[in-house]
Amino acid sequence: MRTISEQACFGGIQGVYAHDSEATGTEMTFGLFLPPEAKRGQKVPVLWYLSGLTCTHENAMIKAGAQGWAAEAGIAVVFPDTSPRGEEVADHDDYDLGQGAGFYLNATEEPWAPHYRMWDYVTDDLPTLLAREFPLDMERQSITGHSMGGHGALTMAMGVKGRYRSVSAFAPIAHPTASDWGRKQLAAYLGDDERLWAQHDAVLMLRDVGFPGPMLIDYGSEDEYIDKLMPEALAEAIASTRQQAVFRMQPGYDHSYFFVASFMEDHIAFHAEALLA
């Protein structure tokens, strides 16, 4: 691991680091906010923030406004990248496929399979590195994300049993097996057998396995991509499975980081309640 930058932030440290990833076979970059307690050597709980299409580790790190609320709660925040990158990594002319659009899964189809293993990267590779290099309490983890990252947060929370104490999402892609933001990518990365897609669909996973902890979901009523996100399918799945959840439609908000930043305080407080219990 190498340090790209470390800067004082709300009494803690906002760092950016790079390392050689065994999962992706590439160099990966991530952001990590450590609250003041970590500077004193105290192990702190961890909140994962997964970003959306076209983002890197940097977008949410700069725009989401998480650090101040995380410092107040004494929680670290991890900002992974959204895909492998580099000249040797397959890409596509469309913004919603290829680099910047890893969809938080392990690809099995060419040309994506050699490097697009973001499920393993976020759930195994990067946590192992973080536990070794930083004062983090990996027994206390929660996860959140925006858009494609909300999809990743929900599916990982349900797919990795016992890992995350709470899960939240900002405007998640909720039902990708039935959406234009999903069917294209799932077919490209996983092939045409739709049975393999179900483990990467939050609506289907809720109906199948659910999540044993609390869930918080926010959408904006003026989200320009709302038809692709399919919030109504997620709301129905929450209701039909009686999932412990708060589902909110925020009037007037769109899909931007202004929306994310507006409700970040709520999401940090929600996760703090679970992580610090």
- Cβ burial of 184 (10 Å; 0-12, 13-18, 19+) is middle
Q: Residue 270: how many CA atoms within 13 Å on its side-chain side?
A: 23
Question: Which residues partner with 32 through β-bridges?
Answer: 15, 78
Q: Report the catalytic residues.
A: 147, 223, 255
Neighbours of 248 (CB within 10 A): 12
Pairing verdict, β 44-50 and 12-20: unpaired
The CA R_g of the chain, rounded to the nearest whole Å, is 17
Rounded to 10 deg, the angle between the 66-73 and 257-275 helix axes is: 10
Q: Please identify which residue in the block is written with the tokens 């959306």.
A: 52
Q: Token pair of 242, please? A: 């009686």
Q: How far apart are the first and last CA of the chain?
A: 32
